Chains A and B, each alone.
Chain A
Amino acid sequence: MKVGDQLPEFAVPSVDPARMKTMAAVLRDPYRVHWDREATREMGLEGRVINQGPLNLSYIVNMLHSFSGPTSVRRLTVSFGRPVFDTDSVVAGGEISAIEGDRATCAVWLKRGDEIVVSGTAVIDISHLH
């Protein structure tokens, strides 16, 4: 493992609006844009519902889990640039930018095609990967 290594990608071929509804219930999220197509029609978005930010981030987390295991995530610092809509195809990726002791810092992102919709950094525990 070294700086510059790419992390294995995690793909979501089609963002599922049914999962957004379940997520809204789990989060107790009243924001209609996640589950009511009429709300997004009012916004001029042709009735496509908008994926929750935590779900967009979860694809990055799942990518990290695939690489370093389910107890490895220590810090996530991310910015949300663009909304993700139902049926969008997105891919989470990352690259190791620094290694210090048992911690690796990674640049992470979520892309829709070539467009970055979420970006930031993750710190992961790599002690069990040495």
Chain B
Amino acid sequence: MTVVSPLGYRFPGGTYTIAHWENWLLTDCTTAGPLPDDLAHPVALFHVPILGAGTSITTLFEVCGAEGPGSVGLDGYDWEYMRPLRVGVEYRMEGSIVRWEQLVDERGHPYDSMSFSIEMFDAEGLAARITNTWRFRRRKPEDSTGATS
């Protein structure tokens, strides 16, 4: 399957405020107890930038041509925190798809490697920055055993 390169695809942008309930559930999923002082768990930096930038995992899968179970893999994250994330703070987000490469894995299977970057701002300025890299395998799902989103 050949997908039109989404390199340069800009997310609509927008704002996001982490709710108490979602941070509580998120933190519980990590097996940790609630954090003090309205601190958000640092792994909120996965979904908050995506949703705050006005996109979604569903949209990213569509734009990049995900083909079904096992077709999407996770390669890496680079997440920077200028200060801790907080519940109840409104963050503004902007970002885009910054890299798209057609590659072949060690077993000879083709895949597209995609990176997207999003910056998060609060009233003080840049609060966090993420770059996530996902792979979109171009082969039959039954061949796949890779890590996921």
Contact = CB atoms under 8 A, between A and B. Distances in A.
Interface residues of A, number: 49
Nearest to A23: B29
Given A50-B148, A55-B43, A76-B42, A28 B76 contact: no
Interface string A37-57: 001101111000010111101
Contact of A77 (B46, B72, B77, B144): B77
B61 interface: yes
| B interface secondary structure, majority | mixed
Interface in B1-45: 22, 25-26, 28-32, 35-36, 39, 41-43
B149 A57 contact: no
Contacts of B32: 58, 62, 65
| A interface secondary structure, majority | mixed
A111 interface: no
B28 A22 contact: yes
Given A58-B29, A61-B41, A71 B145 contact: no
B77 A82 contact: no
Highest count of chain A CB atoms <10 Å: which of B26, B47, B148: B148
A44 B42 CA distance: 33
Contacts of A80: 73-76, 147
Nearest to A41: B69
B142 interface: yes
Interface string A1-36: 000000000001000100110110111111111100
Interface of A: 12, 16, 19-20, 22-23, 25-34, 39-40, 42-45, 50, 52-55, 57-59, 61-62, 65, 70-71, 73-84, 117, 120
30 contacts: A16-B31, A23-B26, A26-B22, A26-B26, A29-B47, A31-B61, A31-B149, A33-B70, A42-B69, A43-B69, A43-B70, A53-B148, A55-B29, A57-B77, A58-B30, A58-B41, A58-B43, A65-B32, A70-B35, A71-B84, A73-B81, A74-B80, A75-B79, A77-B76, A77-B79, A78-B77, A80-B75, A80-B147, A83-B145, A83-B148
